[in-house]
């Protein structure tokens, strides 16, 4: 049986950098906090907790912070939250991915120019919440978040010039479709594709592998955290090509009822999946079938 492991599976640059910053901070011997789980992966978060790292879930949790180091994860935070973290007296280590920081700068500038910011992404996702928090208040109104084609079709955004950005992990084709719909509706808009190349590469490789696997009546495995938006999107893309796609968090979730004669299995993983979990699944599949 052929097993195709995606070259782009696993930690992206931004997540790797953030996780490394936490492990590096632990070496200081100070009390370490992360603002939210450092990545959407329960295994890694558990390991850090065992090493004494505390996850701060909300602003009330900040009351318990007495010095130490707070690490901001790769998703970034709003300006207000950043200032709030700094006001605790703890040292703030900002591990916001540089690609996300770029979006913060873009929306801030657009707001100052009087434009209304449209974020194509999932409302409520920490990265989107962070981006919203760098939009400058102006007469153009609050930033708008659009995640679905139907929302773009129904949106009433007024006569103000729009400045459109994307959540870094958004689906590229869907982003283009939404931008096109807004443009056809006659909005004066400027769109910057801020989808990260790591995501694009991961998505197109996954699509290619899923297509190849489906053509051979094989199966596709996507490994990622349940709350990882990029992993779920990866799964959606793979399912579009290969119905026999399985979404798992670790090897323990893998309950494949596949015939021994299955000719081909493809494996990919989201940006927050550690190498050891990918390796475990890869070895299991190679040995089992």
Shortest distance (Å) from residue 67 CB to ligand SF4: 28
Closest to ligand SF4 by CB, 25 vs 74, is 74
Closest to ligand SF4 by CB, 131 vs 198, is 198
Closest to ligand SF4 by CB, 199 vs 249, is 199
d(CA 47, CA 288): 28
Cβ neighbours of residue 215 closer than 8 Å, sequence gap 6 or more: none
Tokens, residue 178? 């939404």
Shortest distance (Å) from residue 17 CB to ligand SF4: 8
Report which of 122, 134, 163, 130 is spatially closest to residue 14, judged by C-alpha positions: 130
The residue annotated as part of the active site, out of 50, 59, 127, 148, is 127
Closest to ligand SF4 by CB, 74 vs 245, is 74
Tokens, residue 226? 């349940």
Closest to ligand SF4 by CB, 25 vs 169, is 169
- Shortest-Cβ-distance residue relative to ligand SF4: 14
DSSP per residue over 6-26, as a string? -TT-S--HHHHHHHHHHHHHH
From the CB of residue 47, how many other CB atoms can be counted at a distance below 10 Å? Answer: 14
Strands 32-35 and 54-56, bridge-based pairing: parallel
- Binding residues (CB under 6 A) for ligand SF4: these are 12-15, 74, 97, 99-100, 168-169, 196, 198-199, 271
Shortest distance (Å) from residue 272 CB to ligand SF4: 9
Shortest distance (Å) from residue 75 CB to ligand SF4: 7
Closest to ligand SF4 by CB, 168 vs 249, is 168
d(CA 22, CA 37): 11
How far apart, in Å, are the Cα atoms of 124 and each of 47, 130, 146, 168, 172? 26, 10, 11, 14, 20
d(CA 235, CA 19): 24
- 180 in catalytic set: no
Cβ-in-10-Å burial (0-12, 13-18, 19+) of 120 comes to buried
Shortest distance (Å) from residue 96 CB to ligand SF4: 9
Shortest distance (Å) from residue 2 CB to ligand SF4: 28
Active site residues: 127
């Amino acid at each position: 049986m052929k097993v195709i492991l995606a070259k782009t599976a696993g930690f992206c640059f931004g997540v790797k950098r953030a996780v490394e910053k936490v492990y590096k901070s632990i070496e200081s011997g100070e009390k370490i906090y992360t603002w939210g789980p450092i990545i959407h992966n329960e295994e890694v978060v558990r390991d850090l907790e065992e090493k004494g790292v505390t996850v701060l879930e909300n602003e009330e949790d900040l009351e318990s912070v007495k010095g130490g180091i707070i690490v901001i994860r790769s998703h970034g935070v709003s300006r207000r939250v950043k200032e709030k973290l700094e006001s605790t007296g703890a040292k703030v280590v900002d591990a916001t991915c540089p690609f996300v920081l770029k979006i913060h700068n873009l929306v801030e500038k657009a707001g100052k120019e009087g434009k209304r910011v449209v974020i194509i992404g999932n409302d409520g996702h920490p990265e989107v919440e962070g981006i919203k928090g760098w939009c400058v208040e102006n007469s153009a109104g609050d930033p708008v978040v659009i995640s679905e084609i139907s929302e773009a079709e129904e949106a009433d955004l007024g006569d103000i010039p729009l400045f459109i950005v994307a959540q870094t992990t958004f689906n590229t084709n869907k982003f283009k479709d939404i931008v096109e719909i807004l443009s056809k509706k006659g909005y004066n808009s400027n769109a910057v594709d801020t989808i990260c190349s790591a995501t694009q590469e991961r998505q197109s490789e996954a699509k290619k592998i899923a297509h190849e696997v489906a053509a051979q009546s094989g199966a596709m495995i996507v490994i990622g955290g349940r709350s990882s938006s990029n992993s779920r999107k990866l799964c959606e893309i793979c399912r579009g090509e290969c119905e026999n796609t399985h979404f798992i968090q670790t090897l323990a979730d893998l309950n494949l009822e596949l015939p021994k004669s299955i000719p081909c299995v493809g494996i990919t993983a989201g940006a927050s999946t550690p190498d050891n979990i990918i390796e475990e699944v890869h070895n299991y599949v190679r040995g089992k079938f």
